[in-house]
Amino acid sequence: MADRFYEAPIDDYLPQNGNRGYRVSRYELDLVYKVTANRLAGRATLTAVTTAARPRFSLDLSQTLSVAKVLVNGARAAKYTHQHGKLVITPQQHIPAGGALALVIQYSGVPKPVRGPWGEVGWEELSEGSLVASQPNGAASWFPCDDHPSSKASYQISITTDSPFYALANGILVRKQTKASQTTWVYEQPEPMAAYLATIQIGPYRKYRLGAPHDPVPIQAVLPARLRADFEHDFANQPRMMEIFTERFGPYPFESYTVVVTDDDLDIPIEAQGISIFGANHCDGRRGSERLVAHELAHQWFGNSLTVRQWRDIWLHEGFACYAEWIWSEAAEGPTADQLARAARHNLSRERQDIVIGDPGPQRMFDDRVYKRGALTLHALRLELGDTAFFDLLRDWTIRYRHGSVSTEEFTDLAGHYSTIPLRPLWDAWLRAEALPQLPPLT
């Protein structure tokens, strides 16, 4: 008889990722990183509850990292195998459904990004330091985890590294201690977080405060000193963006917001929970990346607080963040959202009409058409509902599902409560068909 361990994928977009039989509520990561050698040693403590009785449990962990020891529920070392990116652990004792599952894993190695259809994601070396950019499945490049967006937990991340470097992780810095040539930084992230949104940023950085001391959401910047003057110009509107988005989307979902600018250039900015990471090339002294600054901030609501349950619904992250760019432009007295939407639709009409953004497929989940047509879907909805109902809906959406997992069906169901007419034709046209619909006229 086939073992129940081998089951259908949790997510068809990432069939190798995610694990059944338990739910993690907390990760405690105690990491030591040597920058020049790119060497990582870790002790990961996972607190979980079993959802089924089974002989063994699996975690996602890259083969570039070697496991030295595994403990289960404090017992002596458990048996395990580590193959094909899966760490499979066999407890010595039977654990019933609903039982405690406390795992301690000691591991080390040279962390490298995970290769996939979307390029390389995960832990990456910089000229001086490192960054983590894990969307969608790179978390396993640096710690053992349940690497699926529907699995959210609290985190404590301790990172010990060479003292000249600044180390940043998600959440609030609760302790910092220097001994000899190394400094330990301990961060606490109490709000639930998907593994791909966990991050560590290490570099020759300094921390600065943005905005006024009395601003309701503290905003920090972590960047090389040489970029500070350009940064202060390029990111000067960040506090105003926070104010606009809080008004439009509801309360900011975390305690603070940090913008990192690396000393290296990056192809695209990177989102993490409570943190956005930009390359030195995004800090040009001309505000050339302000659209991206707005996009990454919006992900704190759409993607980080509200995280998709399945990757097929990624338009709920990227369409919303793209639409936030247009909302910011409108608030900053640039082109209106309607002007930007009609220009975007015109551009899309010249491309192939062969994508369904409500289920684009794994190869196309990061296709720019998912971003732009997702934003157009929201603009079509805004034109249908009117501004008052539309923004009431967005605030209801972010507050109702704060720190949770979401689906397209939940959003469309909620939107129905704000409309006097059925919205099914709108969803069918924009999310479920390949042909690009027309935008309604602006009334």
HEC per residue, the chain? CCCCCCCCCCCCCCCCCCCCCEEEEEEEEEEEEECCCCEEEEEEEEEEEECCCCCCEEEECCCCEEEEEEEECCCCCCEEEEECCEEEEECCCCCCCCCEEEEEEEEEECCCCEEECCEEEEEEEECCEEEEECCCCCHHHCCCECCCCCCEEEEEEEEEEECCCEEEECCEEEEEEEECCEEEEEEEEEEEEEHHHCCEEEECCEEEEECCCCCCCCEEEEECHHHHHHHHHHCCCHHHHHHHHHHHHCCCCCCCEEEEECCCCCCCCEEECCEEEECHHHCCCCCCCHHHHHHHHHCCCECCCEEECCHHHCHHHHHHHHHHHHHHHHHCCCCCHHHHHHHHHHHHHCCCCCCCCCCCCHHHCCCHHHHHHHHHHHHHHHHHHCHHHHHHHHHHHHHHCCCCEECHHHHHHHHHCCCCCCCHHHHHHHHCCCCCCCCCCCC
233 belongs to an annotated ligand binding site: no
Per residue in 355-409, pLDDT tens? 999 999 999 999 999 999 999 999 999 999 999 999 999 999 999 999 999 999 9
Residue 6's pLDDT is what?
A: 54
Q: How many domains does the chain have?
A: 3
Range of the domain at 70: 22-203
Tens digit of each residue's pLDDT (9 = 90 or more) over 124-145: 999 999 999 999 999 999 999 9
Whether 279 has a pLDDT exceeding 90, the answer reads yes
Same domain, 288 and 408: no
- Where among 186, 203, 220 does a domain terminate? 203
Task: For residues 236 and 358, state if they share a domain.
Answer: no
180 and 84 assigned to the same domain? yes
Which of these ranges, 172-176, 208-212, 270-274, 416-420, has the smallest mean pLDDT?
A: 208-212
Domain CATH code at residue 64: 2.60.40.1730
Residue 21 has pLDDT above 80, yes or no: yes
44 and 152 housed in the same domain: yes
Q: What are the pLDDT digits (tens) for 29-79? A: 999 999 999 999 999 999 999 999 999 999 999 999 999 999 999 977 899
176 and 192 assigned to the same domain: yes
* 82 annotated as a binding-site residue: no
Which residues are known catalytic residues?
296, 371
Residues 86 and 148 in one domain: yes
User: Does 318 belong to an annotated binding site?
Assistant: yes
